[in-house]
């Protein structure tokens, strides 16, 4: 059986406690996973702190760090098949999604390396500087030891987005994987060693809420970066508030997909299905509220209900599968609970609505693609489900679409579908979210920032913003005024 060990100070170690990671498609064991003790977690943080202050890491030139990022990218591609196989087994990702995940993680490290090579860590501000008086610099410095926590939906990609800026900035980290999906991060740990990352710069531990809480409470941690639910994010922010700690949060969403009456209907129908069904709806940016202008609503609804039958739910290992099981029994129960609530509240079920248990499906957690027609007072209009369930609502016009789209505590993403680009841009600019696609969905660009407004988070990942989230900025004032009496403060005190 595969063993997932703790990655501390460049070494892989076992521990006294362990658990098994299960395949959500069939309940089979994927790996034996060692759980860190408090001592292991403390040692991981110590390793990160020692690495942070080591000459080897502090003195490493940015081009050399970029080289390491490029090597990680190459090695991810070399180990692609193994990573895909493990991600499929451990998380229930479809084969297609797992392949895309490995490619995206590799591409992220490569793009980040390019950004790092160009990034200026010391910038003289010509406006602030005055000849004969001072020259003033912005100096970007690594934030220090980070504690990073990731969820189970995109295990490898989430680990990449966390580890990448740590290396780029010259910081160090202890990353905790999610209890359901600890496997591929362990391969990434091997890759970090192979790429020549100095020992202790990145440490990877396993565990759940209690290991996460213990890690975050360590006083040596200077920055917390968390991706997960808004409920846990809120608690982490409260604790970070106690310590005035640097914090990045990537949280939940209830993103709006707006179809205007001049959209290309066949593309918008497929786009709407892709937006909420990718990875069984277990994506933070899923388009789970669909607004369609009244004029085209009957036609659109009919086409959607017809087209949803072409989405193949299947075993994750089947190349034709669009999506497989949800990650675990708890998630299955939560989603089915929302479906039952919607039925009780009188939301109109247009498609799906049941667990799938025939044949091979009986061994896993499969749910039909589900469509409900809802109004804003229905629970699923407002709450994140994280499953293959869409809430669809007709709207009078784009003004009402914008109003309802913004009627959410979340603000992660959204999309507008229209053949008139300018009209779509006008709508997109009114959406209170960190990402809006026009005639697309889910696509990300590693050179551009991703993150949420409102309760979807604080800060951004990827893009220059993603690296700056791991940098402190120092104003360095260098005096050019070397005559005592001419110093501006001289009169103030003498």
Alpha-carbon span 439 to 406, nearest angstrom: 19
φ and ψ at 303, to 5 degrees?
-65, -40
C-beta closer to ligand NAD: residue 253 or 353: 253
Alpha-carbon span 62 to 468, nearest angstrom: 14
List, in order, residues 6 or more apart from 212 with CB less than 8 Å away: 149, 176
Q: Count the residues of the shown chain that bind ligand NAD, applying the rule CB under 6 A.
A: 30
φ and ψ at 23, to 5 degrees?
-80, 120
Interface with ligand NAD in residues 247-266 (CB under 6 A): 250-253
CB of 216 to ligand NAD, least distance (A): 6
Member of 144, 151, 388, 411 binding ligand NAD (CB under 6 A): 151
CB of 457 to ligand NAD, least distance (A): 5
CB of 261 to ligand NAD, least distance (A): 30
Among positive and negative, which fits the CA dihedral 478, 481, 484, 488? negative
C-beta closer to ligand NAD: residue 96 or 162: 162
Contact stretch for ligand NAD (CB under 6 A) within 92-100, 138-146, 148-156, 266-274? 148-156
C-beta closer to ligand NAD: residue 204 or 269: 204
Q: Is 178 in the site for ligand NAD (CB under 6 A)?
A: yes
Query: If you search the block for the tokens 């213990």, which residue do you land on?
Result: 214
Alpha-carbon span 171 to 146, nearest angstrom: 7
φ and ψ at 305, to 5 degrees?
-65, -35
C-beta closer to ligand NAD: residue 418 or 455: 455
The binding track of 383-422 with respect to ligand NAD, each residue x by CB under 6 A or -, is: -x-x-------------------------x----------
Please confirm, yes or no, whether 464 is among the known catalytic residues: no
Member of 94, 153, 173, 255 binding ligand NAD (CB under 6 A): 153
CB of 256 to ligand NAD, least distance (A): 15
CA distances from 363 to 26, 86, 139, 252, 359 (A): 5, 19, 56, 29, 8
CB of 99 to ligand NAD, least distance (A): 19
C-beta closer to ligand NAD: residue 176 or 442: 176
Member of 353, 414, 457, 463 binding ligand NAD (CB under 6 A): 457
Q: Which of 49, 87, 179, 250 is catalytic?
A: 250
Residue 30: alpha-carbon gap to chain centroid = 24
C-beta closer to ligand NAD: residue 208 or 298: 208
φ and ψ at 78, to 5 degrees?
-60, -35
CA distances from 399 to 70, 210, 283, 373 (A): 46, 45, 27, 20
Member of 152, 297, 441, 470 binding ligand NAD (CB under 6 A): 152
Alpha-carbon span 100 to 419, nearest angstrom: 28
Alpha-carbon span 128 to 145, nearest angstrom: 31
C-beta closer to ligand NAD: residue 353 or 452: 452
Member of 268, 284, 427, 435 binding ligand NAD (CB under 6 A): 284
Residue 36: alpha-carbon gap to chain centroid = 24
CB of 133 to ligand NAD, least distance (A): 45
CB of 181 to ligand NAD, least distance (A): 9
Closest residue to ligand NAD: CB criterion:
212
Interface with ligand NAD in residues 208-247 (CB under 6 A): 208-209, 212-213, 216, 227-229, 232, 235-236
CB of 384 to ligand NAD, least distance (A): 6
List, in order, residues 6 or more apart from 331 with CB less than 8 Å away: 282, 365, 386, 387
List, in order, residues 6 or more apart from 83 with CB less than 8 Å away: 76, 98, 102, 156, 184, 187
CA distances from 219 to 48, 163, 210, 303 (A): 13, 21, 16, 56
Give the residue numbers annotated as catalytic, written as ranges: 250
Q: Which residues bind to ligand NAD, rule: CB under 6 A?
A: 149-153, 176, 178-179, 208-209, 212-213, 216, 227-229, 232, 235-236, 250-253, 284, 384, 386, 412, 452, 456-457
């Amino acid at each position: 059986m595969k063993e997932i060990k703790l990655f501390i100070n460049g070494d892989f170690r076992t521990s006294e406690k362990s658990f098994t990671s299960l395949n959500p498609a069939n309940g089979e064991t994927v790996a034996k996973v060692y759980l860190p003790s408090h001592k292991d977690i403390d040692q991981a943080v110590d390793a990160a702190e020692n690495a942070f202050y080591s000459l080897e890491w502090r003195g490493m030139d940015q081009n050399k760090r970029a080289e390491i990022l490029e090597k990680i990218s190459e090695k991810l591609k070399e180990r692609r098949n193994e990573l895909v196989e493990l991600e499929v087994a451990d998380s229930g990702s479809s084969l297609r999604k797992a392949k895309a995940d490995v490619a995206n993680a590799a591409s992220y490290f490569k793009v980040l390396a390019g950004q790092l090579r160009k990034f200026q860590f010391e910038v003289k501000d010509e406006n602030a500087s005055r000849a004969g008086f001072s020259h003033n610099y912005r100096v970007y410095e690594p934030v220090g030891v980070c504690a990073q926590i990731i969820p189970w939906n995109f295990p490898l990609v989430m680990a990449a987005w966390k580890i990448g800026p740590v290396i780029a900035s010259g910081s160090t980290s202890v990353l905790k994987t999610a209890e359901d999906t600890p496997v591929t991060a362990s391969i990434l740990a091997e890759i970090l060693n192979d790429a020549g990352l100095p020992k202790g710069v990145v440490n990877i531990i396993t565990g759940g809420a209690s290991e996460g809480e213990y890690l975050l409470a360590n006083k040596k941690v200077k920055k917390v970066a968390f991706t997960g639910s808004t409920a846990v994010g809120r608690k982490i922010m409260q604790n970070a508030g106690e310590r005035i700690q640097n914090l990045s949060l990537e949280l939940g969403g209830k993103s709006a997909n707006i179809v205007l009456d001049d959209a290309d209907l066949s593309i918008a129908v497929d786009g709407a299905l892709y937006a909420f069904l990718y990875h069984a709806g277990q994506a933070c940016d899923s388009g789970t509220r669909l607004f369609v202008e009244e004029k085209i609503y009957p036609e659109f609804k009919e086409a959607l209900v017809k087209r949803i039958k072409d989405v193949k739910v299947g075993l994750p290992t089947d190349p034709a599968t669009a999506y497989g099981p949800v990650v675990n029994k708890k998630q299955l129960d939560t989603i089915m609970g929302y479906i039952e609530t919607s039925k009780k509240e009188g939301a109109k079920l247009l498609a799906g609505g049941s667990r799938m248990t025939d044949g091979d499906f009986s061994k896993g957690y499969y749910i039909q693609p589900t469509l409900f027609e809802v109004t804003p007072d229905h629970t699923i209009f407002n709450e994140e489900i994280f499953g293959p369930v869409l809430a669809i609502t007709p709207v009078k016009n784009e003004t009402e679409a914008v109003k309802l789209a913004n009627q959410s505590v979340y603000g992660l993403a959204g999309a507008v579908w229209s053949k008139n680009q300018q009209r779509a841009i006008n709508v997109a600019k009114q959406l209170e979210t960190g990402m809006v696609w026009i005639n697309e969905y889910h696509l990300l660009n590693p050179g551009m920032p991703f993150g949420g407004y409102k309760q979807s988070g604080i800060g951004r990942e990827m893009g220059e913003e993603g690296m700056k989230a791991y940098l402190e900025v120092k104003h360095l004032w260098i005096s050019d005024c070397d005559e005592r009496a001419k110093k501006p403060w001289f009169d103030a005190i003498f």
